Amino acid sequence: MKSHQRSLSQEEIIDFAQAFDPQPYHMDAAAGDASIFGGLCASGWQVAAVATQLASDTLAAEGYNPVMLTAVSEMKWRKPTFVDQSLTTELQLGERQPSSMVPGCESQGVEISVFGPEAVLVAEISAIFAVDTSQ
């Protein structure tokens, strides 16, 4: 399953960083250029949030009734996400468990691959969503 795309503007990246991750390479172009990332880039937490929202939207569109993200068994940040780069996700369904921390839900494992431009793998997220199976 493939998701829609979303990009992050310079303003969105800097706004998020000022609120939650005020490190130079997320707020200032020159500092980004000089950093290990090689440019102003989004906080990894902002990328994680955007990617799981894209994934959740896709699950909803496909009829899986995602209620919330309850766990991430593994997440790897592979590449930085720079200003205005388009992010998309590709989902593979994993294990389904009959119980969830959310009442009335089951747990659905979802492998989320997050891609930037030219199909570069930006992040990998092994997520567990609570899904409502009563509907």
- Give contact residues for another protein (rule: CB under 8 A): 12, 16, 19-25, 35-37, 43-46, 48-50, 52-53, 56, 67-77, 101-104
Q: Which is nearer to another protein, 97 or 104 (CB)?
A: 104
Q: Which of 57, 60, 66, 135 has its CA nearest to residue 100?
A: 66
Q: Which of 129, 120, 134 has its CA nearest to residue 58?
A: 129
The amino acid occupying position 8 is: L
Q: Which is nearer to another protein, 5 or 104 (CB)?
A: 104
Q: Are 88 and 3 in contact (CB under 8 A)?
A: yes
**Shortest Å, Cβ 124 to another protein:** 9
**Shortest Å, Cβ 13 to another protein:** 12
**Shortest Å, Cβ 5 to another protein:** 16
* Burial of residue 48, with CB atoms counted within 10 A of its CB: 0-12 exposed, 13-18 middle, 19 or more buried: buried
Q: Which two tokens stand for residue 126?
A: 């092994």
**Shortest Å, Cβ 85 to another protein:** 17
Q: Which is nearer to another protein, 1 or 102 (CB)?
A: 102
